[in-house]
């Protein structure tokens, strides 16, 4: 905040896109409960609880639909 003016606080000199309020409106309209993804972290679940494994880091997880 000592280097950049207030309008550049977030991106500094690394802005990768131009500000377009229509894009923000489009994104906000797509944020609906049906597109919700919740991630919970729990300790102590048995191996058989998980039904999937992440490709790169081999993190185990469980997928559920409503």
pLDDT at 29: 92
pLDDT at 63: 84
The C-alpha torsion from 42 through 43 and 47 to 48, rounded to 10°, is -40
Which pair of tokens denotes residue 43? 């300790």
How confident is the model over 1-56, as pLDDT tens digits? 788 888 888 778 787 777 788 988 999 999 998 888 877 777 888 888 889 999 99
Three-class SS of residue 49?
helix
Task: Note whether 9 and 1 are within 8 A (CB).
Answer: yes
Please name the helix (run of DSSP H) or strand (run of DSSP E) that holds residue 24, with its range, or none: helix 21-30
Domain ranges in the chain? 6-61
Task: Note whether 61 and 54 are within 8 A (CB).
Answer: yes
């Amino acid at each position: 905040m000592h280097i950049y003016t207030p309008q550049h606080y977030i991106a500094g000199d690394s802005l990768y896109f131009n500000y377009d309020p229509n894009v923000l409106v489009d994104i906000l309209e797509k944020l609906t409960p049906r597109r919700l993804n919740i991630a919970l972290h729990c300790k102590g679940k048995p191996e058989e609880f998980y039904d999937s494994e992440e490709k790169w880091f081999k993190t185990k997880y469980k997928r559920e639909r409503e």
